[in-house]
Structure 1
Amino acid sequence: MLGERNTFIPIDFSLLSSKKSIINGINKDIDKRSAGYNRRKEALQSAPEQLPGMIARSLSKGIQASYVLMDSWFTQQPLIKAIVDQGIDVIGMVKNSQQRYQVNGKMLSLKELYHRATPLPEKKGVLRVITTTMANGVAVKVVFVRNRNNKREWLAILSTDHSLSEQEIIQTYGIRWDIEVFFKTTKSLLRLQKEFQGRSYDSLISHTTIVFTRYIVLSWQNRCHNDNRTLGGVFYDLCDEMQALDWAVALQQLLELFHDALDKIGKRAQRLIKSQLSHWIAGLPTYIKAYMPDLRCES
C-alpha cells in the first residue's frame, strides 16, 4: 500500500493460505514461469516473508517511498533489517517480546529499555525517548507514548530515521491508520467479501485486483476534486518559470540600456564596448542562451 498525508492507494497485495487448510493446491500442470504459479508460491509464505519482495517490486516500478509503516505484528528485527537494506526507513509499533536492544553493552528487553530511556516533559502523551541499537545491528530511535485506552500503560514506536523528532515519528506513524480505513471501505462499500465467491485462486486474485482498482479510481477522483493541495506542484512550477522569465527579461533590458548609452558616445568607444559584450555573450552557458534567444550585441 502506498500512502501520504493526503492520498492512499493500494499497489500490491497477496492472498495467503494456510498449508494445513489448502483446498486446491498447486496443480502440476501450471507453468512454473507464469504469474499464477508465483502467486501460489507466495500464498504459502508468511506475511512478514512477503514484504521485502513487495517492496522490491514497487521500487523496480519507479515508486518512491520514504518510510514503511508497520504495526507490531510486522515490526520484527529481521524484517526491519531487510527493509533498511533496500534503502527505506521503518516506523512501526513495537510490542514487548523476545526482541533485545543494546545499551552500553547490555541486551535489554523493551520494558527494560523504557526505564533506561530519557524522561520527557509530558506533552501530547510523549513519555520517553531513547536511541539504541537492535540485536542485529540496526540503529533505531524508540519513542514511548501513553496508551490512550489505558493511561497506566505505554506504547513504543520505533523509527530507523533518527533525524525525526518525537512528534514527527508519531505523526508519520499515524498515517498507517489509512490502511484500516481502506480495509473497511473495500469490505463494506466495494463488497470485497460478498460480491464474488469461489474456490478458484485465479478468480480470487482477479476479483481482488478489480476491487482495489475501483478504490484507486475513487482515491484519484477524491484527490483531484476535493484536495486543493493537488495543484500545489503546478503552482510552484509556474512560479519557477515566471522567475526565469523575469530574469531573462531583466537582462535583455539591461543590454538595451547599454545600446542606448552607446549611441551617445564616440564610435571608437562603441566598437570597443560592443566587442567586449559580444565576447561575454558568446561565453555564456547554453542554458542561459536558451532562455534568451534574442540575446545579442550587434557591432
Structure 2
Amino acid sequence: MHQANIRKESGLSPLFLFQFIFSLVFQGKNLYRTLESGRIDNAPSKDAICRFLNRPTFNWRKFLVTISSFLIKTRLLPLTSEGRARVLILDDSTYSRNRSKSVELLSRVHDHSTNRYLKGFRMLTLGWSDGGTFLPLAFSLLSSDKEKNRYQGLNQRIDKRTVGYRRRKEAIQKSTETMFSLLDQVNPFQLCASTLLFDSWFAFPVVIKRVLTEYHLHVVCMLKNMHRVYYTYNGSEYTLGQLYKVLRKKRGRAKILSSVVVGLGKAQNGNDVLVKIIFVRDRNRSKKWLAILTTNLELSDEEVIRIYGKRWEIECFFKVTKSHLHLAKEFQCRSYDALTAHTTIVFVRYIMLALSAREEKDPKTLGELFYLCCDEIEDIRFTEAVLLIIDLFASSFSKEFLLSEEQIQHFLDTFFEQLPAFLKSSLQKRAVA
C-alpha cells in the first residue's frame, strides 16, 4: 500500500479499512446493514470509509498492478510450462449507473450487448492470462470524450497535481489512447507475455502498428469490415470485404475458409508491417465469415484461433464481478475517486477467487467458490458464538456448583461427543486456531 501512496493520515489504518470493505460482499449485507448490526468489533464509521474511498492521492492503479504482477510472478508462472502461451487481454464492458444523476463524469454510453444506451461508464480493462487463470492488471472508467454526452463534468476543486486528477483527464480521452496508458503501467516481459488480444473495437492499423513497434508485442485481434481501412495484397489495396472476395476459399464445410499475408502500411520506423488475416466460418451463421488478424506470421492458422480463444476469459471476469462481487452496486459513490477505489477492491476480490480456483484440487467455478467463502464466514461466526456460550457455561458451573476443573472438563467432553459431526469438526478447528 505504501508503494501506491495509500498511507494513514489520521484515525484507522488503510489496511484495516481495506479489509473491512473487502469482506463486505462475503457477509451478505451492505455497508449500512453491517454497521447497524453491531456484530463487528471496532467497525469503522461510515465517514471513515467515505474518506478512505474519496482520497484523490491514492494511486489505486499502481496498487492493483503491483498485487497482480507479484502474484503472477510468484504463484502462477512457476505453475505454467514454458511452451504455454501467456497473453495480455484488453476489452471494455459497461459500468452501469443508470439510476444515478450526480455521479462525477457520468455519461451516456452504448451497451453493445443490448444495443441500447445507458448512463454510466465504459470499463476498459487490461488483464493477463495463461489459458487457465485470468488476473486483472489495470483499468480505466471511461466517460465520453464528447462533452455533450456527459451528464456531469469534472470536479474542478481537485488538485491538478494528484493522480486522481490525471485519472479524470484520462477518462475523457478516446479509448484507443487510454489503452496505451494502461500498457505503460505493466511490463509484459516480466510477466512472460508476448501477445496482446483485443476485439474489433480496437483493431485499427495505427493501433496495431503502435503496439508492435513501441511495446514489442504481437497482436491477435478480430477484424470488422470498415470501408476506410485498406490492406495491401498483390500490389492492390482492398477493404476486408473486398479481400475476402478475391481469395480462394476451401471447399465443403471447412471451419477455416482462407488465410493470406497482407501489408498494413509502414510503421514509425519506416518498415513495412506484414500481418496474416485468417477467415473462419461463423458458427452461428454458416453463410457468414469472421476475420482474425495476427502480426506473428510464424503461427499456424489453428494456433492463432486457439490463442484468440483465450480472450473469452475476460468476458467471464466481467460476468463474475458484476453478478457476484457487486461491481457498481455496493456503494452509492458519487466521486470519481470512490468509483476507482471500489472497482479496485472488487478486482482484488476476484484475484483471491481466481487463485483459490487455481489451487483447488477439485475444479470449481468462481461462483461456487464465492458462495463457499460466504458459507465459511457464516460458519466462523456461528462457531464463535457456540464457543462463547460453552465458555460461559463452564464458568457458571465452576461458580454455582463448585465443581472441580476435572469434573467440568469431563462434562464438556461428554457434551462434545453428543454434537453432530459437522458441528464437532467446526468447533475443533476453531479451538485449534
For 1:190-201, what aligned pairs fall within 5 Å after superposition? 190-201=325-336
**Contact conserved, 1:107 with 1:135, CA < 8 A, in 2?**
no
Aligned pair partner of 2:212 in 62, 84, 88: 84
Partner SS, residue 148 of structure 1? coil
* Cα offset, 1:194, TM superposition: 1.5
SS of 2:334 mapped into structure 1: coil
Aligned-partner SS, 1:133: strand
Return the letter of the residue paired with 2:330. E
Correspondence 1:26 to 2:148:
no
Which of residues 343, 349, 362 is equivalent to 1:214?
349
Query: What does residue 115 of structure 1 align with?
Result: 245
* Mapping 1:1-299, distance limit 5 Å: 1-18=127-144, 19-59=147-187, 62-85=190-213, 86-97=215-226, 98-120=228-250, 125-136=255-266, 137-226=272-361
Q: Which residue of 2 aligns with 1:291?
A: none
Identity of aligned residues (%): 43
Amino acid at match of 1:126: I
Question: Per-residue displacement from partner, 1:197-243 (whole Å, max 9, x unpaired)?
Answer: 22111110011000001001111111122489xxxxxxxxxxxxxxx
Whether the 8 Å CA contact 1:131–1:140 is kept in 2: the answer is yes
Per-residue CA deviations over 1:4-25 (Å, capped at 9, x if unaligned) read 2111011100001123344553
Q: What is the total number of aligned residue pairs between the two structures?
A: 228
Measure, in 1, the Cα distance between the counterparts of 2:362 and 2:183.
28
Which secondary structure does the structure 2 equivalent of 1:140 belong to? strand
Query: Whose relative contact order is higher, 1 or 2, with alpha carbons under 8 Å and at least 6 apart?
Result: 2
Question: Which TM-score applies when normalising by structure 2?
Answer: 0.50
How far is the alpha carbon of 1:134 from its aligned partner?
1.2
AA in 1 matched with 2:138: D
CA-based RMSD of the aligned residues comes to 2.1
SS in 1 for 2:279: strand
Alpha-carbon deviations, 1:240-285, whole Å to 9, x = none?
xxxxxxxxxxxxxxxxxxxxxxxxxxxxxxxxxxxxxxxxxxxxxx
Q: TM-score normalised to the size of structure 1? A: 0.71
> Deviations for 1:27-63, whole angstroms, at most 9, x for unmatched residues?
3442333210110011001211111221121128943
Distance 2:342 2:141 in 1: 11
Distance 1:226 1:107, change over 3 A: farther
Asked if structure 1 preserves the Cα contact closer than 8 Å seen for 2:328 and 2:343, the reply is no
Q: Which runs of 5+ in 2 are unaligned?
A: 1-126, 267-271, 364-433
